[in-house]
Amino acid sequence: MKGKNSLLIASVVYLILGLILLFFPGLTTSLFCTAVGALLLLYGAVTIISFFVHRDGGRGFSLQAELILGVISAIVGIFFLTRPSVILSILPVILGLYILIDALVNLKRGLDLRACGYAGWTTALILSLVSLVLGAIILWNPFATQLLLVRVIGAAFLYQGGSDLWSILTLNQYTRDPRD
């Protein structure tokens, strides 16, 4: 699976984080920041390492975009770990931007599917557009309570994880090299 491992890890992280935020919105903020920071740092490190190990075999994927996402993830993860009070005050903006960036990467995957001739590429496009909308909703923060916002962020992460997983697995299946 080469460079796709970091994308699969990110999808699973999104799903786990989404479930936690959706069903346990009252978690202590310190625990939340530590967990999110560690997960983002881990994802960023895996993505960065994967880029340098597999930059020759990146057919159908934009490894440079994934490297940028990995670096951003690592930096944001470190910030979550070192400045939790600042993070909590700007959490909706950070998570909304992160979802928007990931949605754009997903959009690229959908266009890769189209370029490969996959007839269902429009599903990836629709999933990406929904992710863009969810990210925008989080950024505009129209919700009255923090717990509701945390649950909405959790739902957005669940959706993002599921849509990422679908597009990664579909692209992997469709672009699989018979020599693998």
The helix-helix angle for 121-140 and 84-115 (nearest 10°) equals: 160
Mean pLDDT, the chain, integer: 80
pLDDT digits (tens, 9 = 90+) for 21-32: 888 876 656 777
CA distances from 169 to 12, 26, 126, 173 (A): 13, 33, 16, 6
Q: What pLDDT, on the 0 to 100 scale, is given for residue 138?
A: 76
Q: What percent of the chain has pLDDT over 90?
A: 12
Alpha-carbon gap, residue 44 to 72, rounded angstroms = 7
Does residue 38 have a pLDDT over 80?
A: yes
> The tokens of 40 are what?
């983002």
Q: What pLDDT, on the 0 to 100 scale, is given for residue 1?
A: 47
Q: What is the mean pLDDT of residues 83-92?
A: 74
Q: What percent of the chain has pLDDT over 70?
A: 82
Q: What pLDDT, on the 0 to 100 scale, is given for residue 41?
A: 95
Alpha-carbon gap, residue 76 to 96, rounded angstroms = 13
Q: What pLDDT, on the 0 to 100 scale, is given for residue 7?
A: 76
Q: What pLDDT, on the 0 to 100 scale, is given for residue 71?
A: 94
Q: What is the mean pLDDT of residues 93-120?
A: 85
| Model pTM score | 0.50
Q: What is the mean pLDDT of residues 101-124?
A: 87
Q: What pLDDT, on the 0 to 100 scale, is given for residue 20?
A: 84
pLDDT digits (tens, 9 = 90+) for 117-153: 888 888 888 988 988 888 888 777 655 456 777 788 8
Cα angle value 139/107/56 (rounded, 5°): 120
